[in-house]
Structure 1
């Protein structure tokens, strides 16, 4: 039986709100976290705390530990998504602006569209899905055309192009890890358990990178300000627990290409947070881009809205 038909519509809506809104607010939390922690260390600490909480919860509930094959799938997908995906984007932002990065990351739904071959009939049979993805991507370009996407990064042109390439590779890693887990992982493995193992594997890889790059040798915990601790805790509970678990569950009940439209909405939320809390400006072109993005997201999900309405009428 189709898992999507068994998923409560209200729960799907809440999960989408989590990846759209909550993940968008983590951009600001990362800025605060980096005031006291270097990037790989921040990621490693974030993931390990979230993993301990999730796996501890599973232990209290006496959830059976999955077999080695499931653990291997979780570990590979977690490293691909959280280190290969998020980590590569963080590295590349040394050489490209956040707006330029967001535009490249917005290619993620198209990566899912091309890689998720088993859903090609569903994707390409609906003009709403294809049109919505294209409209949403146009909205992202319009949105950052009125912001900082045209700003010059500190690096030279060659390093900017390397940065673009690394972001694209990171996007492919994220999509590959998500589809690998969705295709290989048994639905009998609880989401809390699989997410906990993914986070634990990503924490080990991130901390290893932190050691190799010398971050720990220059770190002094006494110099970490309270705002950085606050950013870390927000990333743990809202970014790595609420939003990440919502994403890993959503791709099992909704087409991954549609779930990945969070890459259209997250940068908008991040800019709105900056406007509200750190006095960043918001132009009329950005407001227009926000409207276009909203139209695109609504179009991609229109088939599911129509199906839900029909069910309510039956």
Structure 2
């Protein structure tokens, strides 16, 4: 009996099953890059359609209040749980909460809110094309506010983008006001992104992003109350499709794709990450045409194509500048203590997504520490 017990305990125990993190790290880097890019392209490209579906039976600002309060709460719980494992973790201060509320108001209420409000009377594909002008606005605001120097290709991109927007915006088409509202939302998103990128707030990035979502949720609720949306809300009339679209925006749009984008910022070349700026609108136009029956006119194709060429010129002319997440993503990738620093780098395109960047001679190297 004793010999049998001794023999049993002396047997080699099987190794523990690998954790989910270990399994993910075992996936080849290029495969992870392709998966993350596919998530960002498809999910963020589809958020315009989801926005349009959600506001069919839910007032836009109340819908966004629910989205950001729930998404922010989930992300804040996850982020604080991760941050507590660090010895240096400290809970956010009132100053950090105040900054999060102000940035959330500019970036999310002003950006996402105006884009969504415009979508009440505008197709998802057109909204996506107009919203893709964020890199153009970003360059203009950085030039005016911070005196950033623009390369010749950037100036060409701005000129081409202006022509594209002029082609898209048809004053006689009956949609001038919602188009201008979406463009104003793209401008507000660019301003909020620059404010977040330059702010000196020492908070863990995911915690800061979640705080901004919560601040935006409160802001959306206040705007909805001021506009009298509760009086127009008919709970019994909310259809199942709108609820599914809202749940999709909370989980996939604000958490899954946002997390994938942050991972890409930390693991691949900046220009490759910025490619979502001209891929997502194409996805949005295709989904709007296929599932919402949105009309794609020759004017839309021409103007949209010109705008996307301008975005390509802007992104590739400023490889050291990360492109912010799109306005319907619901997240601020520049939040927190670890942000992109301005510098000049050279991108080696011989590797897919591999960070093979080196400083150009005579220039200050870029500090790449987003999260």
For these two proteins, the number of residue pairs brought into alignment is: 293
Distance in 2 separating the partners of 1:313 and 1:152: 47
Structure having the higher Rg:
2
Distance in 2 separating the partners of 1:280 and 1:165: 19
TM-score if structure 1 supplies the norm length?
Answer: 0.71
Distance in 2 separating the partners of 1:24 and 1:229: 19
Q: Return 32-41 or 283-292, whichever deviates more.
A: 283-292
Residues 135/55 of structure 1: CA separation in 2 closer, same or farther (3 Å cut): same
Q: Give structure 2 stretches of 5+ with no counterpart.
A: 1-28, 320-344, 359-371
SS in 1 for 2:58: coil
Q: How does 1:233-248 map to 2 (within 5 A)?
A: 233-244=247-258
Q: Is the 8 A contact 1:132 1:299 kept in 2?
A: yes
Q: How does 1:50-199 map to 2 (within 5 A)?
A: 50-63=71-84, 64=89, 65-92=91-118, 105-117=131-143, 120-121=148-149, 124-125=150-151, 127-135=152-160, 138=163, 144=168, 151-153=173-175, 160=176, 166-186=181-201, 189-199=203-213
Give, in angstroms, the shift of residue 59 of structure 1. Answer: 3.2
Distance in 2 separating the partners of 1:16 and 1:109: 19
TM-score if structure 2 supplies the norm length?
Answer: 0.62
The match for 1:217 is 231
Residues 191/253 of structure 1: CA separation in 2 closer, same or farther (3 Å cut): farther
Distance in 2 separating the partners of 1:140 and 1:18: 28
Give, in angstroms, the shift of residue 200 of structure 1. Answer: 0.3
Residues 45/179 of structure 1: CA separation in 2 closer, same or farther (3 Å cut): same
Give, in angstroms, the shift of residue 27 of structure 1. Answer: 1.4
Q: Is the 8 A contact 2:136 2:161 kept in 1?
A: no
Say which structure is richer in helix.
1
* 1:37 aligns to 2:58 (yes or no): yes
Q: Give structure 1 stretches of 5+ with no counterpart.
A: 1-7, 154-159
Any idea what the Cα deviations from partners look like across 1:104-153, whole Å, max 9, x if unmatched? 545432321122245723xx23x4444445445655666x48xx886323
Higher relative contact order (CA 8 A, sep 6+): 1
Distance in 2 separating the partners of 1:189 and 1:9: 31
